[in-house]
Amino acid sequence: MKNNLNIIKKLELELLKPEVRKNKKRLGELISNDFIEFTSVGTIIGKKDALKSLPKENLIEWKVSNFKIKAISQDIVLATYKVQKIDLKKKKIIISLRSSLWRNISNSWQIVFHQGTKIPPPSLPLRRVREGA
């Protein structure tokens, strides 16, 4: 089982690589036909939508932290982590918590569920807000 956990981390991080996100063939191999994602902007998408939208993304740099993996069963694994999504074109950073469920289908792991939840930027101290900072 420990080997499966290492495989899931590798696959999850692979999905963040720009060359993979632009490769519809590889995405098709990694994403299950019954895939569902609750996006960080509150929409629900499936595999078809993911294959259409991921290759169109701007150049993104990802910084992953707090990566954890938990086996739910022999064939289902949960991955959770925090990510900084750095849009190099828009010069914008979005921080989110992410979770994914991976399923072993015919000896091949595929992502079946993903959710990204934005973390709001830290608030300014009340004193600074009143001063117009």
Per-residue model confidence as pLDDT tens digits over 35-89 = 999 988 889 999 999 999 998 888 888 999 999 999 999 999 999 999 999 888 8
The pLDDT assigned to 123 comes to 60
Token couple for 19: 């060359």
Domain assignment of residue 64, given as a range? 2-120
- Cα–Cα distances (Å) from 133 to 46, 95, 120, in that order, read 42, 22, 18
The pLDDT assigned to 3 comes to 79
Stated pTM of the model: 0.84
HSE-CB of 83 using CA atoms within 13 angstroms: 23
- Mean pLDDT rounded to a whole number for the chain: 88
126 part of a folded domain: no
The number of residues in the chain equals 133
- Report the number of distinct structural domains present in the chain: 1
132 part of a folded domain: no
Residue pair 37/51 in contact (Cβ under 8 Å)? The answer is no
